[in-house]
Structure 1
Amino acid sequence: MTLAARAFTQLATWPDLTEAEPSCGVGRALGSAHGEIAHFHSDRDVDLCLTVRAIRRFEEHLTAAAIQLVPDSHWVTLRLNFAADVDLLMTLVSLALQAHQAWPDPSDSPRTRCNDHNGAVVARQNLGDG
C-alpha cells in the first residue's frame, strides 16, 4: 500500500471527512461540510485546502521539504515520500478542518482550483513577499 493510499484510508475514517469527487477531476478527494479538504492526485502528491488565511497565519511553519506553496493559492501540495510526511499530512488536515470551520472567509471560496492545475508550484516560497 502506498503512503497516499494509507493516508487516504486513515483520513476516510475521520468523522468530519467524507469521500468526494475532486472538483479538478483528478484522483480521489475528501471533503467536509464546509468544502473540499484534500485531493489525492497520485501515489505521492496530495493537495490540501488550508485557505489563504491559514496559510498566511502558519506560513513560517510550512517550510518542510515535503510542502510546496503556490502564491495566493488556498491549497498546499504535499509530497509523501516518508512515513513522517503522512504524519505531517494528518496534522495539516486537522488544521484545514479547523480553518474551514473557525475562519470562514468569503475570499476562501471552495471553488478555488487546487494546485494540480497550477503549472508552477513553488517550494517553500514566502507568500508575504512580492
Structure 2
Amino acid sequence: MNTARHASERLMSWPSLIADRAPCGAELGLRTATQEIVHFHGEHEADVHLTRAMIARLRPALLGSSALRLRAGSGWVTVRLDMGSDIDLLATLVSAALQATGAPYPAHDPAPDHCTRTRIRC
C-alpha cells in the first residue's frame, strides 16, 4: 500500500493547500499561496514544515512518537507513513503547520529553513 499517495490525496482535498513540485526535488508537495507545507519522499515518508518555533512548542509530544524524526535546527519533521494512524498524525501536523504560517513569527528567518534533502546547486 502506498500510504504517501493516500495521505496526499486526503490533503489535496483541503482548500488551503495547492499541489506543486517541492523545491527539494520531491515530485509532490503541497503549499499555501506563500509557503511550502508538506512534501512526499517515496511511498512511505513525508516532510512537514512546522517551523522551528512550532517544533519548540510541540517538542515533548513530537519526541513521543516513533513515526516522527526531528533534525536539530530544522523546522521540518519527517513522518514515516506505515499505517492509517500515521496518515492521521500527518494530517494533524499539517494542520499545525498551517496554523504556524498564519501565526505571527519573524517574516525572515536568520537561516534558511529548507527541507533536509534539498539539493544544493553550485
TM-score by length of 1: 0.83
- 2:102 is the counterpart of 1:101: yes
**Deviation, structure 1 residue 107:** 1.4
SS in 2 for 1:87: helix
- Percent identity reads 38
Q: How far, CA to CA, are the matches of 1:60 and 1:102 in structure 2? A: 21
Kindly report which structure 2 residues correspond to 1:1-130, keeping only aligned pairs within 5 A, or say none. 2-63=2-63, 64-105=65-106, 106-107=108-109, 112-117=113-118
Task: Map Cα deviations across residues 55-99 of structure 1 (whole Å, 9 max, x no partner).
Answer: 001100102000000001010000001111000000000000000
Structure 2: how far apart are the matches of 1:46 and 1:108? Answer: 25
Contact 1:29–1:36 (CA<8 Å) still a contact in 2? yes
Higher relative contact order (CA 8 A, sep 6+): 1
Q: Which residue of 2 aligns with 1:121?
A: none
Cα distance in structure 2, aligned partners of 1:74 and 1:95: 12
CA contact (8 A) 1:37 1:93 kept: yes
CA contact (8 A) 1:34 1:101 kept: no
> What secondary structure does 1:54 align onto?
helix
Query: Distance between the aligned counterparts of 1:108 and 1:90, measured in 2?
Result: 28
Structure 1 stretches (4+) deviating beyond 4 angstroms?
none
Matched pairs, number: 117
Alignment partner, residue 122 of structure 1: none
Instruction: Structure 2 unaligned segments of length 5 or more: list them.
Output: none
What SS class does the counterpart of residue 117 from structure 2 fall into? helix
User: 1:55–1:82: structure 2 CA closer, same or farther, 3 Å change rule?
Assistant: same
